[in-house]
Amino acid sequence: MVRALSHVFFFNPSPVRRVPIPNRYTAKAKLCFCKNNKRMIGSSACLQCVANSISPGGSINATACVCNAGFVGQLGGPCSACARDTYAYKNTVTNPTGVCMPCPAHSKSEPQSSALTSCKCLLGYGGAAGGPCTPCGLAYYRGSTDATCRQCPRYTNTTSLIAESAAEC
């Protein structure tokens, strides 16, 4: 008898409950767990998804492998890393290829970023992670160690709306 449990398909020759154990045979059936898939139902070996991808437990086809967050590619791979100043959420079967999205204006991110909140405002700009990022304005600056725009010392001003340190006051 073939039983379906959510997205998990496996062969169960008897009504006795079988508990899947990762990377081990369970009586006559073997379930594949995360990062693995199988080409057929039964006790065949699990296959690895391509690098930087994962599949739901019990997957029986390589096309169940979707790229991890921060990577994009077709179902089954290969998966390519998103470049600096872009991000990508985890791909899904309904959104299989994913797209590396650019960070909002005046923000940056590291390569392989996996969320909009990975985008941080550039120096001289203020705003929450993920934007929007706006210039700090006259008499304000935001340097590398500052989380938000800071006001210049008393009786000083900046010559630019985008100052990156107190030295510009």
111: phi > 0 → left, psi -120 to 50 → alpha, else beta; which?
beta
The Cα–Cα gap between 169 and 73 comes to 47
pLDDT for residue 145 = 80
Q: Give the chain's largest Cα–Cα span.
A: 84
Q: In 3-state terms, what secondary structure has residue 11?
A: strand
pLDDT higher than threshold 70 for residue 40: no
Instruction: Give 85-122 pLDDT, tens digit per residue.
Output: 999 987 666 666 678 999 999 999 999 999 999 999 99
pTM above 0.95, yes or no: no
